[in-house]
Amino acid sequence: MKLSLVGIGAVTLAAALGLAACGSNATPTSSEGTSQEGQTVTLDWDFWNQGDDGNKMWQGLAEDVTTEHSNITVKLTSPPFADYFTKLQSQLASNSAPCIVSMQSLRLPAFAEALEPLDELMAAEGFDPQEWNPAALKALQLDGKQYAIPYGISTMALFYNKDLFAAAGVEEPQPGWSVEDFEAAAKAITEKTGKPAFGQSFSDLHMFSQLLAYNGARPVSDDGKLDLGNDAMREAFTWYTGLATEQGVALVPASSSDVPWGEQQFVAGNAAMAVDGTWNLASDAKEATFPVGVTTLPLGDGGVSSFSANSGFGIAKSCENKKEAAQAIAIITGADAQEKTATSGTMPGRVASADLFYEGLAADIDGDNPGYSEQARLVVEESSKSAVPFVPTSNWDAVTKSIAREFILAYTGSAAPDATLDNVQASAGS
């Protein structure tokens, strides 16, 4: 799963919802919104492009639905990720929305009104939440309701360059390490290797998770409003920007357009540490030309392990065949499907399938980087225990654009951290 920062305007979406209808090419339906017994239905399913291998795997899972339920055909299309949510908004406005909706947790607040709560529908298909990593499920819940069933698990972790730690004579960090441990390591690495110890980022999950771990700071209030002016956020953001301006241990993004700067610079070998998502446990280790280590985010007083986010599959509220859509989702997120996603390099949301993912990591990475797979397992387990879902505002796209424009000024010391927080709050707050 590659997270991006494209958002959806709530006002435009609300207007679209009034016109929305299901894109299921189905035969006439019963009054309960499901097909008459025995009749064939075709369910449209859009899922952003996963690459050739990924698309092939998901197409196979779509065909598995028909193998299990001969009256259901799932028609999968794979638009580019950059276009997916814009397309979905247009589909809602033009009576062509798919029945099966692929959804990211960061977009959920903007689309929840268009989605059917799944608790009862999936319970009828034997869905057991005890079989899932709790952080995976929580990330796709809103107001206590499950709006999508995840196919993976996504928390944040700190990735580090083992060679640079060794060159600086710094012990590798262990899960549960503190902010003080992180600062000491960063100072030693920067001074002894000449490379910046930490890559800063504008990416929302990456940056805000580190602030959450620092002192529990959260950018959004419980009622869904942007809240960058709270005391904890001001304290945590001042610390984060100070890694560059005061402590001199951070690599600052080159421009406001370099949103995922830190994580990219880490993989390129230009920074010794960066925050990235557990969805990149395999790819970061494969792409880097040095041995990668991974641990939990450094914790301060009142800190929480990580925000969680996720992607999964929901059902359009306007779908005429909700029962069949639930049956399809039960197959594409079922135990057999999770084994397939796990062996493809995606951290599965089902607990029982996790071993396959780590076995794959061991086979691909442990030969050159001994112990990485077990280290990754420990970090996922530890970060998931207290992870909290990242629930953004409904205008999160505007927020993230303002963050990139303003926060670089604080990273470079051109503006005070408090001032940039206030500017984002004023321009994008609601």
Side chain identity, residue 394:
S
Same domain, 20 and 107: yes
Partner residues linked to 295 by β-bridges:
158
Specify the pLDDT at position 63: 97
Same domain, 136 and 26: yes
Query: Measured at the alpha carbon of residue 65, what is the angle toward residues 62 and 68, in degrees to the nearest 5?
Result: 155
Radius of gyration of the chain (CA): 22
Specify the pLDDT at position 37: 59
CA 89 to chain centre: 20
Q: Is 357 part of any domain?
A: no
d(CA 9, CA 352): 38
Structure tokens at 225: 């409003």
Same domain, 176 and 259: yes
Considering the entire predicted model, what is its pTM?
0.81
The total domain count for the chain is 2
Low-confidence ranges of the chain (pLDDT < 50): 1-34
CB neighbour list of residue 249: distance below 8 Å, 6 or more residues apart: 183, 186, 187, 189, 190, 196, 197, 198, 243
Q: Is 117 part of any domain?
A: yes
Domain stop point among 349, 377, 403: 349
d(CA 262, CA 200): 5
Same domain, 96 and 181: no
Q: Is 379 part of any domain?
A: no
What DSSP assignment string belongs to 139-157? TTEETTEE--EESS-EEEE
d(CA 3, CA 308): 12
Specify the pLDDT at position 83: 85
Phi-psi region of 90 (alpha: psi -120 to 50; beta: other; left: phi over 0): alpha
d(CA 212, CA 390): 11
d(CA 291, CA 367): 11
> How many Cβ atoms from other residues are within 10 Å of residue 28's Cβ?
8
Residue located via tokens 């670089």: 408
Same domain, 118 and 65: yes
Partner residues linked to 389 by β-bridges:
308
Same domain, 260 and 333: no
Per-residue pLDDT tens for 273-284?
Answer: 999 999 899 999
Strand ranges, E, within 252-370? 273-277, 292-295, 307-309, 311-315
Specify the pLDDT at position 430: 56
Specify the pLDDT at position 36: 56
Q: Is 363 part of any domain?
A: no
CB neighbour list of residue 399: distance below 8 Å, 6 or more residues apart: 7, 226, 392, 393, 424, 428
- Backbone CA torsion sign across 285, 291, 296, 301: negative
Strands 154-161, 273-277: pairing is antiparallel
Specify the pLDDT at position 188: 98
Residue located via tokens 């505002």: 393
CB 428 within 8 A of CB 399: yes
Same domain, 109 and 209: no
Q: Is 380 part of any domain?
A: no
Same domain, 240 and 304: yes
Q: Is 257 part of any domain?
A: yes
Q: What is the CATH number for 416?
A: 3.40.190.10
Q: Is 361 part of any domain?
A: no
CB neighbour list of residue 196: distance below 8 Å, 6 or more residues apart: 190, 249, 250, 251, 270, 271, 272
d(CA 365, CA 158): 18
The one-character DSSP state at 227 is -
Same domain, 170 and 263: yes
- Closest of 21, 108, 158 to residue 311, by C-alpha: 108
Same domain, 279 and 401: yes
Q: Is 26 part of any domain?
A: yes
Q: Which domain covers residue 173, as residue numbers? A: 155-308+385-428
Specify the pLDDT at position 23: 42
CB 399 within 8 A of CB 109: no
CB 122 within 8 A of CB 354: no
Same domain, 300 and 321: no
d(CA 400, CA 156): 18
CA distances from 390 to 107, 128, 171, 212, 309 (A): 10, 23, 32, 11, 6
Same domain, 303 and 163: yes
158 SS3 class: strand
